[in-house]
Amino acid sequence: MSNSSTFASFPCNFSTFQQQLPWTSCGTGTPQAWGNQTCVYTYLYADMSVTSGLLAADTSTFDGSAAVDGLAFGCGSFNQGLLDFNSSGTGITGFGCGALSLSSQLKVDNFSYCFTNITGSTPSAVLLGLPANL
């Protein structure tokens, strides 16, 4: 594992996501490494699961070749409830209509997904854009 040269955290005065993430702060009560000028989020889901961490962006690569610059995501350092991942979980992504969802950031109107058995070794597939058929 290596550090990304394109990783960047969002500053506290970055207001683009304020309406999407109403619970943001300037590193208050966070690990010293974040600094006081880093945007920290807290998001509460309907099932009362919660995630809190650093709001950041990085270049993300899909299917080995398609790179997208500046894809925003949360680096959750405090996750509770269904988001308290064990060794079988590595993250969560949203496909809703909000500005922070993966589909909105990639500007795709169509997607399809097929979830495989959580205890199996076959990865789940997500297709973005047209044709969105599995």
How high is the mean pLDDT in each 10-residue block of the chain (134 residues)? Answer: 78 68 62 63 83 86 82 83 59 79 87 82 82 52
The pTM score is: 0.71
Judge whether 77 lies within some domain: yes
Judge whether 131 lies within some domain: no
Judge whether 105 lies within some domain: no
Judge whether 107 lies within some domain: no
Parent domain of 36: 8-92
Judge whether 127 lies within some domain: no
Judge whether 102 lies within some domain: no
Judge whether 56 lies within some domain: yes
- pLDDT value of residue 36: 59
Nearest to 41 by CA among 100, 89, 86, 82: 100
- pLDDT value of residue 1: 39
Count of structural domains, the chain: 1
